[in-house]
Chains A and B, each alone.
Chain A
Amino acid sequence: MQKIKLENINELLQSMAQIGKVYAPIEKAGQVNYYEWNKDAKLRLDVLNTVKSAKDVFFPQTEDLASFKTEGKEISIQAEKPLDEDFAVFGVRACDVKSFDILDKVFIEENTDEFYKARREHGVVISHACNEPEETCFCTTFGIDASAPKGDIETYTVGDTLYWLPVTDKGKEYSAKLGNILEEADESQVNKQKETIKAIMDKLPLKDVTTQAFGAGKTMEYFDRPEWKELSEACIGCGTCTYVCPTCQCYDIRDYDTGKSIERFRCWDSCMYSDFTMMAHGNPRKTQTERFRQRFMHKLVYFPDNNNGEFSCVGCGRCVAKCPISMNIVKVMKALGGK
């Protein structure tokens, strides 16, 4: 384990930026999101949940796929190339780190998405333990330990010091490139901190939320439950939950005419929108109740069905904090799961 004084963290980031781009929680216009770090950036390592999750780094909100040029009846297609340079994402909380595993199942395991895979291969994940989990947090429901986040390199803030622990080969290689900016440290302070965090997690209001009632093979058990109507009644279909969610991965593909060429791009989309399933001959999900049900059934039943029982939620609590009508997966689990 190594360490550096927090007052010198910009020197660390400067060294990291020389290896490759560094994405970190940075404040812009009052919001903290993952942006590329530079020396003028306002790093906010203290903020627990960025507005958009860290998935933005590997699965960007919008990205170009290809460019078309047309001339008369002829077309040329220029494919975008997958990323070919190393980068790091720094300050990722345990829940968001876990979300990368879930996204990997979608984008890498079958019909690999080359754009996503290239970013995962080139990206070093540097996690950061949560010193003060919030009342919207329920990562423990999914077996995630906020006091000991996974990742290629784990980091911990204790007092005025950042502790740094390379775990994977990728993390060790990356750390080796940093030279002697970090000094050797023992683990005692970090271990003490972990105990303090665990004590906080034990007192969180959502610590008893359980997924026990859900999982693979339960489609028919939950699909026609009458509770969906009432749960979805106030949903305004804004899609905020899907945009802040670290595991939501639905996307749209569209063409945009720039005047010089036609850009085919991919962007995040939401199953909460009526357009999502709209076809020339009609819409199979006609009401918000059906769209609302789709989102939660996918996270709690369909995804586990296809992924050995694993849920598509990491308990980050962003939807709990951001939904304008205060509806969220916790309420859905309680209402349908009987707790």
Chain B
Amino acid sequence: MCNCANGNIDKLIPQLAVITDIRTDTPDVKTFRVVGVDGKINFDHKPGQCAMLTLPGIGEAMFSITSSPTNTEYKEFSIKRCGTLTDALHSVEVGQQIGIRGPYGKPFPVDTEFKGKNLLFIGGGIGIAPLRSVINYARDNRDDYGKIDVLYGSRSKEDLVDYEEMTNEWVKSRDFDLHLTIDREQEGWDGHVGFVPNYLKELKFDTNRIAIICGPPIMIKFCLAALIEMGFDKTQVYTTLELKMKCGIGKCGRCNIGSKYVCKDGPVFRCDELDEIPNEY
């Protein structure tokens, strides 16, 4: 029982939530649907924000919220199995209760800088998780944004997260193009083959758009370079950083780079802002 009635409960204390659905997306990514124990979402969020998830005794870690804020029934987290907590999360069943606290971080500027603009989303692997929140937010507020392009790649077709939603729902949206690619040729795949940054160059987008990149650091680096080469200004490009976090509120010190704390000043950064902090990510 959380004794939330006594007023000043610290921000580090999680609320109780329950996993109501688990979807296996890829061999190492599962998407968890989470609601509060009262059946309502634990808190509101904005696209790009994150939350701390707890399994008692295993620990706590920060995950980006992959569902859109327009979905007020539940929150979703797409989680790749890659460490102690994520291993444990992958082994739980529907009905498992967890701890949750948040939302944390600066969201994508969906209601300001993104508004009225053409949007180009560039994702790699599990990097689609934060992008999906923005993409679905933009789809649900379709009139507020221009053309939407999603360029998404992974190692193989089995590793494409959210493939069903992308190919069944996203492509039906107005003014929406999906560009999928996988790293190597594969039987049963007749789509594009090649790395995301190369495909980005081949697609020859004009610069009349905002680009949002999320994926492995090396992919971000090459995509940013490609965009600059294509004539984009850094102020048109957004990305997210990921560092170890414990508190989520800019105190524990782990995600400190330069004078920024990724947990509260990020994880979303405009690429010109990255020039002001040391390259320690």
A interface residues (Cβ-Cβ under 8 A, vs B): 65-66, 68, 70, 73-82, 106-107, 110-115, 118, 219-220, 223, 249-255, 257, 262, 264, 266, 269, 271, 276-281, 284-285, 290, 294, 297-298, 301-302, 305-306
Is B97 a contact of A284 with CB atoms below 8 Å?
A: no
What is the bound-complex CA distance between A278 and B10, given in angstroms?
A: 26
A-B interface contact total, Cβ < 8 Å: 140
Contact, CB under 8 Å: B58 / A255: yes
Chain B residue nearest to A219 in the complex (CB): B258
Which of A74, A112, A254 is B59 in contact with, Cβ under 8 Å?
A254
Question: Provided the pairs A111-B264, A255-B58 are in contact, do residues A276 and B10 lie with their beta carbons within 8 angstroms?
Answer: no
User: Which A residues are CB-close (under 8 A) to B58?
Assistant: 255
Instruction: Give the residues in chain A near B86, CB-CB below 8 Å.
Output: 280
CB pair B243 A79 closer than 8 Å: no
B8 surroundings in chain A (CB, below 8 A): 82, 114, 118
CB within 8 Å of A: which B222-274 residues: 242-244, 246-247, 249-254, 256, 258-259, 264
Report A-chain residues with C-beta under 8 Å of the C-beta of B252.
250-253, 269
Shortest Cβ distance from B104 into A: residue: A111
Is A77 within 8 A of B2, CB to CB? yes
Which residues of chain B are within 8 angstroms of A112 by Cβ–Cβ distance? Answer: 11
What 18 new A-B contacts, CB under 8 Å, besides A70-B57, A276-B254?
Answer: A65-B10, A65-B13, A68-B57, A73-B97, A74-B97, A77-B2, A107-B251, A223-B278, A250-B253, A250-B254, A251-B253, A253-B247, A264-B56, A264-B60, A271-B253, A280-B86, A284-B281, A290-B280
Q: Are B6 and A81 in contact (CB under 8 A)?
A: yes
The yes or no answer to B12 lying at the interface (CB within 8 A) is yes
Q: Determine whether the beta carbon of A249 is less than 8 Å from that of B11.
A: no
Contacts of B110 in A (CB 8 A): none
Cα–Cα, bound, A269→B246 (Å): 11
Is B93 an interface residue when CB atoms closer than 8 A count as contact?
yes
For this complex, 24 residue pairs linking A to B, each with C-beta atoms less than 8 Å apart, are: A65-B12, A70-B56, A75-B56, A77-B99, A79-B9, A110-B249, A111-B250, A113-B251, A114-B8, A219-B276, A219-B278, A251-B246, A251-B252, A253-B12, A254-B59, A255-B59, A262-B57, A264-B54, A264-B56, A271-B253, A276-B253, A279-B83, A298-B256, A302-B256
Whole-angstrom distance from the CB of B171 to the nearest CB of chain A? 31
**With A75-B56, A262-B56, A271-B253 as contacts: A251 and B247 at CB distance below 8 Å:** yes
Tell whether, in the assembled complex, residue A277 and residue B254 are in contact, meaning their CB atoms are under 8 Å apart.
yes
Instruction: Say yes or no: is B95 at the interface (Cβ < 8 Å to chain A).
Output: yes
List A contacts of B99 (CB < 8 A): 68, 75, 77
Residues of chain A within 8 A of B259, CB atoms compared: 219, 301-302, 305-306
What is the total number of residues of chain B having a CB less than 8 Å from a CB of chain A? 49
Interface residue B178 (Cβ < 8 Å from any Cβ of A): no
In the assembly, what is the distance between CA of A2 and CA of B15, in Å? Answer: 50
The 7 closest A-B pairs by CB, nearest first: A250-B253, A280-B83, A68-B56, A305-B259, A111-B249, A114-B10, A280-B82
Q: Which of A75, A113, A279, A290 contacts B10 (CB 8 A)?
A: A113
Give chain A nearest CB distance to B85 CB in angstroms: 9
**Cα separation A294 to B3 with both chains bound (whole Å):** 38
Q: Which residue of the partner chain, among B13, B93, B258, contacts A66 with CB atoms under 8 Å?
A: B13
B161 lies within 8 A of chain A by Cβ: no
Contacts of B3 on A, CB cut-off 8 Å?
78-79, 81
Residue of A nearest to B246 (CB): A253
Instruction: Determine the chain B residues whose CB is within 8 A of the CB of A251 once the complex forms.
Output: 246-247, 251-253
Residue of A nearest to B252 (CB): A251
Output the nearest chain A residue to B255 by Cβ-Cβ distance: A277
Bound-state Cα–Cα, A114 to B278, Å: 32
* CB proximity of B43 to chain A, nearest CB, Å: 15
**Once the chains bind, are A77 and B60 in contact (CB under 8 Å)?**
no
Cβ B243 vs Cβ A249 within 8 A: no
Neighbouring A residues of B96 by C-beta, 8 Å: 73
B residues within 8 A CB of A298? 253, 256
Judged by a CB distance under 8 angstroms, whether B203 is at the interface is no
Asked whether B258 lies within 8 Å of A302 as measured between CB atoms, the reply is yes
B10 touches A79 (CB 8 A): yes
Which residues on the B side are within 8 Å of A280 (C-beta)?
82-83, 86
